[in-house]
A and B are shown apart, each in its own frame.
Chain A
Amino acid sequence: MERLSYEVEVEGPAAPRAPPALVGVVASGNLEVLVEPGDAGRCRVEIATSARGFGEIWEAVVRDFAARHPVAGLRFSVNDAGATPAVVTLRLGQAVEEYLGATR
């Protein structure tokens, strides 16, 4: 098990407060993402992953994700069971849409 943590400064208004949202499942090749309110002006992503040695790719995924979505003031906790970046990106995107959907 490897633990990774990234914090990205994000411009733009903070995401509205909403109840935490959970998407995905912890199953082989998949992952679970919990999104909840965090610190203003930044996006924090904490990852627990079963696959070691992919920190560089995780970081790139997280930075692109933060650039493409309104994630200021959100905190993500990821439980990963060896998902590919395709699945990670999809689940992170779904988590944001799910969280923001609840605020609309």
Chain B
Amino acid sequence: MSRTWDTARRNREARLQRAAPLARGKWVEAAEVPRLLEALVEPGDRLCLEGNNQKQADFLARALCRVDAARVRDLHLVMSVLALPEHLELFERGIARKVDFSFSGPQAVRLARLVSEGRIEIGAIHTYLELYGRYFVDLTPRVALLAAAAADEEGNLYTGPNTEESPAIAEATAFRDGLVIAQVDEQLQRLPRVDIPSGWVDFVVRAPTPAAVEPLFTRDPAQISDVQVLMAMMVVKGIYAEYGVDRLNHGIGFDSAAIELILPTYGERLGLRGKVCGHWALNPHPTLIPAIEAGFVRSVHAFGSELGMEGYVAARPDVFFTGRDGSLRSNRAFSQTAGHYACDLFIGSTLQMDLAGDSSTATRSRITGFGGAPNMGADARGRRHASPAWLRAGREARGDGPGAPRGRKLVVQLLETFREHMEPAFVERLDAHALAEAMGWALPPVMIYGDDVSHVVTEEGIANLLLCRGAEERAQAIRGVAGYTPVGRGRDRRAVENLRDRGIVRRPEDLGIEVREASRDLLAARSVKELVRWSGGLYRPPARFRSW
């Protein structure tokens, strides 16, 4: 008997035939979508429900929650972000059983509860790039439910500024005989540009309400503290200036927003314009506007967009990647690749760090996942191009050791020694280990491994881990900036002073930073309103960030 080589394709044809009566060509009425899904989706399917960091296929998520759970059940969700309540409702109703994902921010507590009740089986928690990689290896979706801004009659999709990961999902699904269904905000005669061609798309539905998008990267400068300004000064003077960091990625915390906001003031005074912070893999952070306007920033490639920044981005095509229509073209997969391979530095905040420098945002009652930080916050071992910052970091890490010269990525972790309610940020043992034990996981969810970290910055100073030789020295360097936490108070004072003499631990005064200057007065913008002013009125913040 001859073997068949097109079972998936035949199965796809059978599904399309079942669904055809529910559609007019590719177009489906919103009310018919639960029936359409019942016709298209089979029990046990791997299904990608587009849940990005920002843009959500929320209408399709609600429709999937309304299918007959006797017909559509035991799905294996492969999706980057568990963000909406509906994502977990699918498990409570038995429609889905297993999930492979990257990040679960808003649903972290409920997810931990469902996992411990045995109602969700987690395949693995990935980074974004890792999950997209598996879409093309062993976790290819059978069905993908996407969100786009608009479609034309033929089913070409326009994703607008928030393209995010739609192309990656569509490509993996469409080219392995899967089914692609898109919700769109509107139907247009002629699209501003085509982001996903109609040949990859099987069905389109006009959603009753536009897809949900979160302004996740807007940090109100009014909430930045003087301590964060102090840490930002240490980073700019002690790291950006010293290494000449010109290609970088920032996390989304208030402390990295503070860095963005002192470039036009403090950075300018240090003579750094044109020398640092030229090229970015970054969402269009509103707090980057002053540094763009002041001439620091030369290019920005974005993972996604940011609500309110559309007009500003469209007016700065020399800086941002934009389509012929003028609007931002974001792409999470490419920007993550840029962050991993093309940037010399990643800087981000973390919640907990241990004496090995391992850090995590997980606690016993929260499964938060990773998102993209581990890809940015890891030395790119496959990198083969040199830059001054990368080479210097490599020299510091290797010392005079044997072997070929090799660079290193700068991975900087920012954390105040105490969080809210006097919770110490430095600990002997990460909560991630307890979570892994409670859940029976082989791997504790470590966000960034200590051996990838180059610098730890707290209000007390900078610890340069590249220069440390051995685990004990490293632990003392971390203790040396851990302030009055139990870990910090457990330091060997003489050892720390020795590290200070060698420039491994550096205090603000060692860097020539006057603490008196560490004040919000140094921020180029102290409020959202001032950001709007810097943008010449082009930035239109969402209502929740407007107090005027």
In the bound complex, residues from chain A placing their C-beta under 8 Å from that of B422 are 51, 54, 84
Please tell me which one of the listed residues B230, B459, B516 contacts residue A98 in the complex, with CB atoms under 8 A apart: B516
The interface bits of chain A over 22-45 (1 if a CB of B lies within 8 angstroms of the residue's CB, else 0) are 000000010000000000000000
In the complex, whether A85 has a CB less than 8 A from a CB of chain B is yes
A98 to B227, CA, bound (A): 17
- Are A84 and B416 in contact (CB-based, < 8 A)? yes
In the bound complex, residues from chain B placing their C-beta under 8 Å from that of A89 are 459-460, 483
- Are A90 and B418 in contact (CB-based, < 8 A)? no
Chain A residue at minimum C-beta to C-beta distance from B516: A97
Which interface residue of A90, A97, A98 has the most chain B CB atoms within 10 A?
A90
In the bound complex, residues from chain A placing their C-beta under 8 Å from that of B226 are 87, 90
A87 to B226, CA, bound (A): 8
A87 to B231, CA, bound (A): 12
Contacts A57-B484, A87-B227, A90-B227 hold; do A101 and B516 have CB atoms under 8 A apart?
yes
Please tell me which one of the listed residues B225, B489, B516 contacts residue A94 in the complex, with CB atoms under 8 A apart: B516
In the bound complex, residues from chain B placing their C-beta under 8 Å from that of A29 are 225, 420
The interface bits of chain B over 441-475 (1 if a CB of A lies within 8 angstroms of the residue's CB, else 0) are 00000000000000000111000000000000000
In the complex, whether A55 has a CB less than 8 A from a CB of chain B is no
Give chain A's interface residue range (CB within 8 Å of chain B): 10 to 19
In the bound complex, residues from chain B placing their C-beta under 8 Å from that of A54 are 422
A101 to B516, CA, bound (A): 10
In the complex, whether A18 has a CB less than 8 A from a CB of chain B is no
Task: Give min CB distance, B184 to chain A, whole Å.
Answer: 45
CB contacts under 8 Å to A, within B216-233, are 225-227, 230
In the bound complex, residues from chain B placing their C-beta under 8 Å from that of A81 are none
A47 to B173, CA, bound (A): 64
- Are A86 and B516 in contact (CB-based, < 8 A)? no
- Are A85 and B483 in contact (CB-based, < 8 A)? yes
- Are A94 and B515 in contact (CB-based, < 8 A)? yes
In the bound complex, residues from chain B placing their C-beta under 8 Å from that of A57 are 484
**Chain B residues with a Cβ closer than 8 Å to the other chain, count:** 20
Task: Give min CB distance, A81 to chain B, whole Å.
Answer: 13
Task: Give min CB distance, A104 to chain B, whole Å.
Answer: 12
Chain B residue at minimum C-beta to C-beta distance from A64: B484
- Are A86 and B515 in contact (CB-based, < 8 A)? no
A94 to B508, CA, bound (A): 13
- Are B459 and A61 in contact (CB-based, < 8 A)? no
Task: Give min CB distance, A86 to chain B, whole Å.
Answer: 4
- Are A86 and B418 in contact (CB-based, < 8 A)? yes
- Are B484 and A97 in contact (CB-based, < 8 A)? no
Please tell me which one of the listed residues B417, B514, B519 contacts residue A86 in the complex, with CB atoms under 8 A apart: B417
In the complex, whether A93 has a CB less than 8 A from a CB of chain B is yes
In the complex, whether B518 has a CB less than 8 A from a CB of chain A is yes
Please tell me which one of the listed residues B420, B459, B484 contacts residue A90 in the complex, with CB atoms under 8 A apart: B459
- Are A97 and B515 in contact (CB-based, < 8 A)? yes
A86 to B518, CA, bound (A): 12
Task: Give min CB distance, B477 to chain A, whole Å.
Answer: 18
In the bound complex, residues from chain B placing their C-beta under 8 Å from that of A97 are 514-516
Task: Give min CB distance, B108 to chain A, whole Å.
Answer: 24
- Are A85 and B417 in contact (CB-based, < 8 A)? yes
A93 to B459, CA, bound (A): 12
In the bound complex, residues from chain A placing their C-beta under 8 Å from that of B484 are 57, 60-61, 85
In the bound complex, residues from chain B placing their C-beta under 8 Å from that of A84 are 227, 416-418, 422
CB contacts under 8 Å to A, within B472-499, are 483-484, 489
In the bound complex, residues from chain A placing their C-beta under 8 Å from that of B459 are 86, 89-90
In the bound complex, residues from chain B placing their C-beta under 8 Å from that of A94 are 515-516, 518-519
Task: Give min CB distance, A6 to chain B, whole Å.
Answer: 14
The interface bits of chain A over 72-85 (1 if a CB of B lies within 8 angstroms of the residue's CB, else 0) are 00000000000011
CB contacts under 8 Å to B, within A56-78, are 57, 60-61
| A-B CB proximity, top 8 nearest | A86-B459, A97-B516, A93-B515, A84-B418, A85-B484, A86-B227, A57-B484, A86-B416
State the B residues within 8 Å of A (CB). 225-227, 230, 416-418, 420, 422, 458-460, 483-484, 489, 514-516, 518-519
Query: What are 28 pairs between A and B in contact, CB < 8 Å?
Result: A54-B422, A60-B484, A60-B489, A84-B416, A84-B417, A85-B417, A85-B418, A85-B483, A85-B484, A86-B416, A86-B417, A86-B418, A86-B458, A87-B225, A87-B226, A89-B459, A89-B460, A89-B483, A90-B226, A90-B227, A90-B230, A90-B515, A90-B518, A93-B515, A94-B515, A94-B519, A97-B514, A98-B516
